[in-house]
Structure 1
Amino acid sequence: MQAIFVQFKCRPGRAYAVADALVEGVEEISEVYSTSGQYDLLAKFYLAPDRDIGHFVTERLQTLDGVSDTFTTVAFKAFGRG
């Protein structure tokens, strides 16, 4: 599985509704956090290796009601203890 991180800018007052929509409606989601700074939410998704990231982001995420912008980061390797 390939991990991607997507930051979301939401329309005013819509961040919690967008977070709920992600958790309830996008099976590829791992977790979502509310954040400070330029973006309102940070979400982690796991996609199958043959899944087109561009189509996933533009068709499944950017079209959610309340989303005004996204910023996607593709992860290469996870590091951890142990």
Structure 2
Amino acid sequence: MRSFYIFIKCELGRTYKVASAIVDTVSETRQVHSVSGEFDLLAQFAVDDDADIGRFVNKSVQTIDGVKDTQTLICFNAFTPDRGQGLD
């Protein structure tokens, strides 16, 4: 599985509706957080290794009513307490 995050800017007054729509309709969603700053939401997704992330963002996230803009961050490695030591 490939993990990635998407910062999402919403139309004014639509943040909670967008968050609900993502959680309710996008099965690849892991978490959605409301955040401060330039963007309104930070959502984590996981897709199959061979999935086209750009196409996923375009079809599954950017088409949600109330989404104004996105910025995608693709993850390389996950460092966790059970996997974080001895990797250098």
TM score, norm. by length of structure 2: 0.91
> Unmatched 5+ residue regions in structure 1?
none
The aligned residue for residue 51 of structure 2 is 51
Q: For 1:25-76, what per-residue CA distance to the aligned partner results, in whole angstroms no more than 9, with x for missing partners?
A: 0000000000000000000000001110010001110010000000000001
CA distance in 2, matches of 1:22, 1:48: 18
Query: Any runs of at least 4 consecutive aligned residues in structure 1 with deviations exceeding 3 A, and if so which?
Result: none
> Unmatched 5+ residue regions in structure 2?
83-88
TM score, norm. by length of structure 1: 0.98
Question: In percent, how many aligned pairs have the same letter?
Answer: 46
Q: Give 3-state SS (helix, strand or coil) of 1:81's partner.
A: coil
Q: For 1:3-35, what per-residue CA distance to the aligned partner results, in whole angstroms no more than 9, with x for missing partners?
A: 010000000000000000000000000000000
CA distance in 2, matches of 1:27, 1:80: 24
- Residues paired across the two proteins, number: 82
Cα RMSD (Å):
0.5
